[in-house]
Amino acid sequence: MTKERLKELLKPIAEGLFGPQGTRRGPVQPHYTVRPVGMIVEDLCRIPEEDWAKYAFSREPLNGKFNDEQRRDLTCRAIACGREYAEKLADRYGMRDPEKLARKLGLKVDFPDMPQNTERVLFAEFREPDKVHIYMDGVRKGRALLGEPGVPHALTGQLDITKLLIGHELFHWVEEHYKKEIWTRTYKIELWAPGPLHNRSGVAVLGEIAAMAFTKALNNLPYSPYVMDAFLVYGYSPEAASGLYEEMMQLAGREPRLPQAEPPAALPERDMEGGEAR
Ligand SMILES: [Zn+2]
């Protein structure tokens, strides 16, 4: 995950946990109804990979340049790109384990507790040219949630949080390594420029979407790793994670549930005799 995207993602948390909390200045943080973590992952795991398009693009600085059809089309192409490279590398090296694959490719993976020189919450990052940091504070908080009701069933026994994060960061290395040919880097859009000048720009979110598809394929997960955005944030702030859940559900065209919501009620039993109840 890029630093920028995570910064944006965790802004509400950073502001809540470390920021202007206690001071009376600044905008009031919205409050979200806290859901059990099991409800959040249950619903989010049902969202098909392509339906994450609008959520993913909502973090893209050039989001306004696209309509929904284009967002969806680009998302599908980014997913195909991520899968293609996952299979290519898995075949070439005869392994799918992201951690082993990363080491085989010469990356240096380490597991510090937290990022240095920042108070921000961060789960993982790729540093050029060849370093991947997996921050264990967030991973441990995530692991502690794996036993919550509904979570094991939704996330499946396949999930290994560190391997999922390594797979995502490994894709950022892959992008650098294949930057002349990989679609997420060769795809450009034309931005306005005066006269005969050209101003072509890459679209950063395509690399994020492909990184999610890449790690999904390597880890053999049946759901989109975007679920982890909300799940790992839950370890720090159930309320911020619930806000993300609402946003993710709405952007995927679904209705967020409220806690204690009854399952859809069965139709009331009809009085078979006809006539109104007295
Ligand atoms: Zn990333």
75-127 tens-digit pLDDT: 999 999 999 999 999 999 999 999 999 999 999 999 999 998 777 789 999 99
> Which residue reads 């944006």 in tokens?
8
Average pLDDT (182-204) is 93
Q: Kindly give the distance from the C-alpha atom of residue 128 to the centroid of ligand 1, in angstroms, as a whole number.
A: 13
Q: Kindly give the distance from the C-alpha atom of residue 172 to the centroid of ligand 1, in angstroms, as a whole number.
A: 7
Q: Kindly give the distance from the C-alpha atom of residue 104 to the centroid of ligand 1, in angstroms, as a whole number.
A: 20
At residue 198, the pLDDT reads 87
**Rounded to an integer, what distance in angstroms lies between the CA atom of residue 76 and that of residue 87?**
17
At residue 197, the pLDDT reads 86
DSSP annotation of 124: E
**Rounded to an integer, what distance in angstroms lies between the CA atom of residue 166 and that of residue 57?**
22
Q: How many CB atoms lie within 10 A of CB 128?
A: 8
At residue 25, the pLDDT reads 46
Q: Kindly give the distance from the C-alpha atom of residue 211 to the centroid of ligand 1, in angstroms, as a whole number.
A: 6
The model's confidence at residue 274, banded by pLDDT at 50, 70 and 90, is: very low
Q: Kindly give the distance from the C-alpha atom of residue 60 to the centroid of ligand 1, in angstroms, as a whole number.
A: 12
At residue 268, the pLDDT reads 54
Average pLDDT (33-53) is 98
Residues in the chain: 278
225-262 tens-digit pLDDT: 999 999 999 999 999 999 999 999 999 999 999 998 66
Q: Kindly give the distance from the C-alpha atom of residue 275 to the centroid of ligand 1, in angstroms, as a whole number.
A: 62
Whether the predicted pLDDT of 16 surpasses 80: no
Structural contact between residues 3 and 125, judged by C-beta atoms closer than 8 angstroms: yes
Q: Kindly give the distance from the C-alpha atom of residue 171 to the centroid of ligand 1, in angstroms, as a whole number.
A: 8
Residue with the bigger pLDDT between 145 and 264: it is: 145
Q: Can you tell me whether residue 138 is helix, strand or coil?
A: helix
Q: Kindly give the distance from the C-alpha atom of residue 22 to the centroid of ligand 1, in angstroms, as a whole number.
A: 32
Whether the predicted pLDDT of 61 surpasses 60: yes
Q: Kindly give the distance from the C-alpha atom of residue 19 to the centroid of ligand 1, in angstroms, as a whole number.
A: 24
Percent of the chain with pLDDT over 90: 77
Q: Kindly give the distance from the C-alpha atom of residue 125 to the centroid of ligand 1, in angstroms, as a whole number.
A: 7
Q: Kindly give the distance from the C-alpha atom of residue 193 to the centroid of ligand 1, in angstroms, as a whole number.
A: 29
Q: Kindly give the distance from the C-alpha atom of residue 165 to the centroid of ligand 1, in angstroms, as a whole number.
A: 9
At residue 147, the pLDDT reads 95
144-153 tens-digit pLDDT: 999 999 999 9
Percent of the chain with pLDDT over 70: 83
Whether the predicted pLDDT of 13 surpasses 70: no
Residue with the bigger pLDDT between 14 and 54: it is: 54
Q: Kindly give the distance from the C-alpha atom of residue 4 to the centroid of ligand 1, in angstroms, as a whole number.
A: 9
The model's confidence at residue 29, banded by pLDDT at 50, 70 and 90, is: confident
The model's confidence at residue 215, banded by pLDDT at 50, 70 and 90, is: very high
Burial of 1 (0-12, 13-18, 19+ CB in 10 A): buried
Q: Which of 215, 137, 126 is nearest to 177 (CA)?
A: 126
At residue 193, the pLDDT reads 85
Q: Kindly give the distance from the C-alpha atom of residue 185 to the centroid of ligand 1, in angstroms, as a whole number.
A: 14
Whether the predicted pLDDT of 14 surpasses 50: no
The model's confidence at residue 23, banded by pLDDT at 50, 70 and 90, is: very low
Distance of CA 256 to the CA centre of its chain: 17
The model's confidence at residue 35, banded by pLDDT at 50, 70 and 90, is: very high
